[in-house]
Each structure stands twice: as structure tokens, then as C-alpha cells.
Amino acid sequence: MYTIREAKKEDQAFLILSIIEADKSSTNICSYCKLLEIEELEFKQFLHEIFEEEITGFEFSVEAFVVVEHDGKPIAASASWIESEEGLPSWQLRMVALRTVLPAIHITNLMGKSAICNTINIKRSEGTLQIESVFISSEHRGKELLKKMIDFHIKLRSNNTNNIASMELLTYNSNLLAEKAYTKIGFKKIEYTTSSHEEIKHFYPSDGMTRWQKITEHGN
């Protein structure tokens, strides 16, 4: 029996696990850890500190997440927000949040990596529902939990004045499981990057990213 609900403070450790596992995309490369030159445990601690600030509009927040429970335990999670709804794009929120928790040495570690990141990064569209940090425990895959979570996100972020017209998400190109799952529920590829930078696979799980889009009934 599966139950879907909004995330709560008590889920925080599982949400942070979801962020990292989604970023790793079935590899052992956490891009944040590689770029910042920190261990996963340390990155988790920084995320806990950011979550305490309760900022909305990106995935480093309890408010962004929905959780699927099985037998009372969280087994899947995913985040959503309306991009730039309160002014700042999610990438800026991510960076200022990291700035306030990272010691200076980690900022120094980022110097010179901008050129690498820009060969792979894709910008998100303002006003669209962003789906991010999707994680489903391996033993619970194939149960249509992805679709159920996305339907829940749409209801959660819709209100009388704001019907969701378009949804977007980003995946790494090597993540074929994600590609299959998103294609199955109606997402279409609209943009992709492929980096030829020789160090790209040291920092990221793949050498490229794909932006996916799905137009809802309100966007037609």
C-alpha cells in the first residue's frame, strides 16, 4: 500500500538522500561533491543547514517535496516548484544558499570550473513547473509512482489563479532508466547538451544533459 503526501520536517534526511541519489543518477558521481571537492557526508550536512532556512523556489527545501510511503516508511520522493515564481531563478537560489553554508575554501575550489559547467548546464524556463530530485527506491520501481508523484505535484502547485501549463525537468543523458520513464508518461525532449570538455566525466555522471517538457491540459 502506497501513500503520497507532502514532505515533513522529519523526512529531511530522506529528502537529502533523494537530492544526492538523483544527482548521481545511478553512478557514484555526485556533481556537487566533485565540483566543491567535498565528501558526500559533508555535503549532506550543508544541505541540512540550508533546509533549516526554509527557503522556497528550489529543491533544497522540505516544502518543495512530496514523499511516497510504503508500510509507513518513505521509499520515494521528488521536488517541484514554479521557476522564478518569487523573482530569483532556482540556480541563483541554489548558489546563494550554498554561499551561506560553505566555508571559503570550497568557494576557492570552484574557481576556474565555470567553463566546464557551462558546457553541460541547461537553463530552466520561467513560470514552468519544475520537477527535480526524483528518487524511487529500487525495489519500488515499476509501480507508476513517478506518475503519481507528478500528478500530486501538479495539484499541489495549482491554485485558482495559477493552472500549470507546462512541466519541465532535466536529466543526464546517460540516465536511460529516466529517459524511458519520462517518455512513458508523455515528456518530450526539447533541448540537450553534449560536452566535449575532457574533464566533464570527472565532475558529472554524464557528458550531457537533456531538458524535457510536458504540456498539460491547461497549456493546450
Partner 1 sequence: MEIETKLQEVFRDVFQDETLAVLPEMTAGDVDKWDSITHLIMISKVEEVFNVSFRLKELIKLKNVGDLITLLKEKTE
Binding residues for partner 1, per CB under 8 A?
Answer: 35, 50, 53, 55, 57, 86-89, 91-100, 104, 107, 110-111, 113-114, 117-118, 121
Minimal distance, residue 190 CB to partner 1, in Å: 20
- Any residues with CB less than 8 A from the CB of 85 and at least 6 apart, and which? 57, 127
Minimal distance, residue 9 CB to partner 1, in Å: 18
Residue closest to 171 by CA, chosen among 214, 123, 132:
132
H helices, E strands: number in the chain: 9, 7
Minimal distance, residue 11 CB to partner 1, in Å: 21
Minimal distance, residue 87 CB to partner 1, in Å: 5
**Which CB atom, from 98 or from 145, has the smaller least distance to partner 1?**
98
Q: What is the dihedral of CA 96, 197, 18, 176, to 10 degrees?
A: 150
Residues in the chain: 220
Cα(204)–Cα(33) distance, rounded to whole angstroms? 10
Minimal distance, residue 94 CB to partner 1, in Å: 7
Q: Is the four-CA dihedral 219, 159, 23, 113 of positive or negative sign?
A: positive
Tell me the residue type at 90: S
**Which CB atom, from 121 or from 166, has the smaller least distance to partner 1?**
121
Under 8 Å between Cβ of 7 and 65: yes
**Which CB atom, from 91 or from 192, has the smaller least distance to partner 1?**
91
**Which CB atom, from 4 or from 110, has the smaller least distance to partner 1?**
110
**Which CB atom, from 95 or from 185, has the smaller least distance to partner 1?**
95
